Amino acid sequence: MITIILGTRPEIIKMAPVIRACKKYNIAFSILHTGQHYSYEMDRVFFEDLLLPLPHYNLDVGSGSHAEQTASLMTGIEQVLVNNTPDVVLVQGDTNTVLAGGLVGAKLHIPVGHVEAGLRSYDRTMPEEINRIVVDHVSDYLFAPTKLSTHNLIKEGIEESKIYTTGNTVVDSLFQNLKIAEEKSEVVEKNSLTSGDYLLVTVHRAENVDYYPQLSRIITGIQKVSDIYSLPVIFPMHPRTQKMIQKFRISTDGIKVISPVSYLDFLKLEKNARMILTDSGGVQEEACILQVPCVTLRENTERPETVDVKANILAGSDPDKITAATKVMISSHSDWINPYGDGNAGERIVEICESHI
């Protein structure tokens, strides 16, 4: 029995190939949904759209400080694992759900597998960096997406016998879900956009949206890019970002702000964009895989592979740097080699778990 723990929509996306592989190989599994970002009821449609089985357990932990949320997550996860005693616990990424699941599994002496192990931004002001480091060092199976992430783990003294370079499940997920998106989504048409002729923006990280100077500079930079290239900008705005835009009274003139969209709609927006400006790690990966140029609105990234293959460039929040980075990326040929694997990571991870069970 494999217990798959997830609590945010990016985790659902990246664990979907693992779930599908378990079904394909007829391996017993259960899904524990912690509700770290959204309640199960809000995420139910997400599982249904991606044609995934619904979770077996739902904690509906909700928000709180890092300490409060992690404590609630650990309490709920422990109860489920004690009652069900799986052979392996799988967690993915760098959220508080991952931290809680990894710690509880390790303390109950249940083997822990960390999907997407070895990512490093080397910025410990990011809570995600702390989460991923801790979980890597308590895990029994470390599923590194790239050779660089494998090198990071070895450099930190983790036993090589625990590390498997599998590729990233985001590749599997994109290939699998893009087909569904093409059939179901009409978001490009409904927003009067033309494929390859608009810019897509996402900004949500606390360090970017919670401080007026930072957020104001980013919005100014985006507006300058739109003016220079005469391209429409579509911005599915995160509720947190919307709240701070209103609080700081920052003008978004020239930017088409829309409500957050479903994953399938967002995937179609990414696929058809001329370029993406984002502060999201996951979107950096997806843009790279989809061959869409990306400008990252951060000073660092835990996805340096995207920069190395020239699919992405770091611009930070300075408007002039944002426009300069856009000038480089918007004229790129999008002919880089995807560094994240062949789309079979989910099956590799399940095969490794099965061999150890």
> For residue 357, what pLDDT is reported?
82
Under-70 pLDDT residues of the chain: 40
Segment 27-58, tens digit of pLDDT: 999 999 999 877 767 788 889 988 899 999 99
> For residue 40, what pLDDT is reported?
67
- Cα–Cα distance measured from residue 80 to residue 77, given in angstroms and rounded to the nearest whole number: 5
Domains of the chain: 2-168+341-356 (3.40.50.2000), 186-330 (3.40.50.2000)
Segment 211-234, tens digit of pLDDT: 999 999 999 999 999 999 999 999
Q: Which two tokens stand for residue 354?
A: 């099965």
Segment 157-170, tens digit of pLDDT: 999 999 999 999 99
Share of the chain above pLDDT 90, in %: 88
- Cα–Cα distance measured from residue 352 to residue 30, given in angstroms and rounded to the nearest whole number: 17
Q: How far is CA 234 from CA 40, 200, 262, 349, in A?
A: 28, 5, 15, 36
User: What DSSP character marks residue 342?
Assistant: S
Run of H or E residues at 202? strand 199-202
233-236, strands of its sheet edge to edge: 256-258, 233-236, 199-202, 275-278, 294-296, 312-314
What pTM was computed for the model? Answer: 0.86
Which residues are annotated as catalytic? 204
Nearest residue to 260 (alpha-carbon basis) of 42, 40, 16: 42
- Cα–Cα distance measured from residue 226 to residue 78, given in angstroms and rounded to the nearest whole number: 49
> For residue 64, what pLDDT is reported?
85
| Half-sphere exposure in the Cβ direction for 154 (13 Å, CA) | 12
User: What DSSP character marks residue 291?
Assistant: T
> Whose structure tokens read 């004690």?
82
